[in-house]
């Protein structure tokens, strides 16, 4: 962000985005409109791999996990893992992957299967899935093993494609590298002619649910020790975006607290809601322990997601407050904490190492700014947890962090919770940059993002519409 940007007004985002903390757009230019995912082939995602394996004939005692690369068309990642384990006659818990991908897309990603026969894996035949066995590993693949993702995304039927270049110019300025990699004024169709753009590193709508963004509300209720509110946010809390049958069931639960009646009305496909209602109906009482037990019927990964989503929403609000104040994202101000670049990241995809952080005081701003300009450091904000140290109260980052937490009624100690709800917290870069290439006929965006960053957060700046259309 340039100094000239500091006083600019922020363009308000769609109300559904504002509900999860994404209050503003960077670009003031009107959106291009259009549709995403008109066909799965319009949304291609390929993992940038950072996971090594041994040959297939390596010792299965030492390397008992089979590594495979799957190209999936219109597959939810969890559903594919379940189908793969069923085809192998294996427990679902033996299948791991580095990153969950969107369903209506063509995705290429890595999986491991513990204690599997490579030939049996290679022989699995699932419609819309091409499987290639790569070798053996000594452990499961995890999220941290993914460097990032490469995207090729087509926008169909844009209303105003002529706005693309103006939006790109705004995002180049925000990235703090304006003048580098500039496209021609005619928007030439050469993918190599890319522009370096930047956007706030928001957590995208998928983190919270596009049709019914509630996961953060559940997590915030848990953090406030309001287990009843957390359960009702999940099983009640109807949305106009849901089918009538689902809305009516949720409304009934909220109005009556009749758990058995709610269970009878809740659609069969809403298995987690039904499990919570069944637990409450079986217990026959409604104290805090009962509501907590009901929430804990959710899978452990979903329990973690509730608190993670709360952290994500608070982080988004901090970034929106930073935008509103006109603070830079590409360089620090006094009070910021920066993290340094991950030494093991690919050369062409700088990644922050959130284990190596440093607080910036007034005397160090210029020095650290130079590190940020060279890609050696990243300004961060907290994903709040028990080990979070807030910025000094007399600095703007400190004011932002405390204001956001006070408004939410949350403090770091609240994350000292039982089981899967506990979190020590971490930090996350506030800015994500990428080299963006845009071609026409059809309008196609090609770019790469580090792990944990969302393609839709970049695309929302161009489409500027209902986030349901981005999902």
Mean pLDDT of 58-72: 96
Provide CB contacts within 8 A for 361, sequence distance 6+: 334, 335
Q: How many residues does the chain have?
A: 471
Backbone angles phi, psi at 49, to 5 degrees: -80, 140
425 close to 385: Cβ distance less than 8 angstroms:
yes
pLDDT band at residue 60 under the 50/70/90 scheme:
very high
**If DSSP codes are grouped into helix, strand and coil, which group holds residue 309?**
helix
Beta carbons within 10 angstroms of residue 384's beta carbon: 28
pLDDT value for 469: 65
Domains 49-147 and 213-298 share a fold: no
End-to-end CA gap in the chain:
28
pLDDT at residue 200 tops 50: yes
Cα four-point dihedral sign 160, 166, 170, 175: positive
Give the residue, 355 or 393, on which the prediction is more confident.
393
Q: What digits encode the pLDDT tens for the residues 412-455?
A: 999 999 888 999 999 999 999 999 999 999 999 999 999 999 99
Provide CB contacts within 8 A for 117, sequence distance 6+: 66
Give the residue, 26 or 466, on which the prediction is more confident.
26
Percent of the chain with pLDDT over 70: 94
Architecture label for domain 49-147:
2-Layer Sandwich (3.30)
- Tell me how far apart the alpha carbons of residues 208 and 214 are, in angstroms, rounded to a whole number: 6
417 close to 310: Cβ distance less than 8 angstroms:
no
pLDDT averaged over every residue in the chain: 91
Mean pLDDT of 381-408: 97
pLDDT at residue 78 tops 70: yes
pLDDT at residue 231 tops 80: yes
pLDDT at residue 101 tops 90: no
pLDDT at residue 102 tops 60: yes
Q: What digits encode the pLDDT tens for the residues 7-17?
A: 457 899 999 99
Architecture label for domain 213-298:
Orthogonal Bundle (1.10)
pLDDT at residue 463 tops 70: yes
Mean pLDDT of 23-41: 94
Residue of 42, 102, 290, 342 marked active site: 102
DSSP element (H, E) containing 160: none
pLDDT at residue 230 tops 90: yes
Is the domain spanning 304-429 CATH 3.30.2350.20? The answer is: yes
pLDDT at residue 244 tops 80: yes
- Tell me how far apart the alpha carbons of residues 251 and 236 are, in angstroms, rounded to a whole number: 6
65 close to 136: Cβ distance less than 8 angstroms:
yes
pLDDT value for 152: 97
Q: What digits encode the pLDDT tens for the residues 128-140?
A: 999 999 999 999 9
DSSP assigned state of 364: G
pLDDT value for 8: 52
SS3 content of the chain, % helix, strand, coil (to 5): 40, 20, 40
Q: Where are the beta strands (DSSP E) in 74-206?
A: 95-97, 106-114, 129-137, 146-155, 195-200
Give domain limits for the chain.
3-19+156-201+432-469, 49-147, 213-298, 304-429
Distinct helix (H) and strand (E) counts, the chain: 14, 15
Mean pLDDT of 285-309: 92
102 flagged as catalytic: yes
Radius of gyration of the chain (CA): 23
pLDDT value for 90: 93
Nearest Cα to 33, choosing from 199, 174, 172, 164?
164
Q: What digits encode the pLDDT tens for the residues 320-335?
A: 999 999 999 999 999 9
């Amino acid at each position: 962000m340039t100094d000239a940007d500091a006083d600019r007004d922020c363009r308000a985002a769609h109300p559904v985005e504002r509900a999860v903390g994404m209050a503003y757009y960077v670009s003031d230019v009107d959106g291009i409109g259009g549709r995403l995912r008109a066909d799965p082939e319009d949304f291609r995602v390929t993992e940038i791999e950072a996971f090594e394996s041994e040959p297939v004939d390596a010792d299965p005692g030492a390397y008992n996990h089979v590594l495979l690369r799957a190209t999936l068309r219109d597959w939810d990642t969890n559903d594919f893992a379940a189908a793969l384990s069923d085809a192998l006659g294996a427990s679902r818990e033996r299948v791991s992957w580095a990153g969950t991908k969107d369903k209506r897309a063509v995705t290429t990603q890595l999986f491991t299967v513990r204690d599997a026969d490579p030939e049996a894996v290679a022989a699995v035949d699932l419609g819309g899935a091409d499987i290639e066995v790569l070798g053996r590993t000594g452990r499961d693949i995890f999220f941290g093993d993914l460097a990032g993702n490469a995207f090729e995304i087509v926008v169909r039927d844009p209303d105003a494609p002529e706005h693309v270049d103006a939006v790109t110019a705004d995002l180049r300025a925000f990235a703090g590298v304006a003048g580098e990699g500039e496209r021609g004024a005619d928007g030439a169709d050469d993918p190599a002619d890319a522009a370096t753009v930047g956007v706030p590193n928001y957590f995208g709508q998928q983190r919270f649910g596009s049709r019914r963004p509630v996961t953060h509300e559940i997590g915030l209720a848990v953090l406030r020790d309001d287990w009843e509110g957390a359960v009702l946010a999940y099983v009640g809390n109807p949305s106009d975006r849901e089918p009538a049958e689902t809305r009516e069931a949720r409304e009934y639960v909220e109005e009556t607290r009749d758990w058995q009646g709610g269970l009878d009305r809740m659609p069969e496909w809403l298995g987690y809601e039904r499990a919570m209602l069944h637990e409450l109906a079986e217990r026959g009482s409604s104290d805090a322990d009962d509501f907590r037990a009901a929430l804990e019927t959710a899978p452990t990964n979903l329990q973690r997601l509730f608190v993670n989503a709360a952290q994500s929403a608070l982080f988004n609000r901090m970034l929106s407050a930073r935008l509103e104040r006109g603070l830079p994202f590409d360089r620090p101000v006094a009070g910021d904490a920066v993290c340094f670049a991950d030494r093991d990241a690919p050369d062409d995809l700088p990644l922050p190492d959130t284990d190596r952080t440093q607080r910036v005081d007034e005397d160090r701003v210029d020095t650290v700014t130079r590190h940020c300009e060279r890609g050696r450091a990243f300004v961060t904000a907290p994903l709040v947890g028990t080990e979070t140290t807030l910025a000094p109260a007399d600095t703007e980052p400190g004011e932002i962090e405390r204001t956001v937490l006070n408004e939410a009624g949350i403090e770091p100690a609240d994350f000292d919770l039982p089981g899967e709800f506990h979190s020590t917290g971490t930090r996350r870069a506030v800015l994500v940059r990428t080299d963006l290439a845009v071609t026409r006929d059809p309008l196609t965006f090609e770019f790469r993002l580090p792990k944990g960053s969302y393609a839709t957060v970049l695309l929302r700046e161009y489409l500027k519409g209902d986030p349901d259309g981005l999902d």
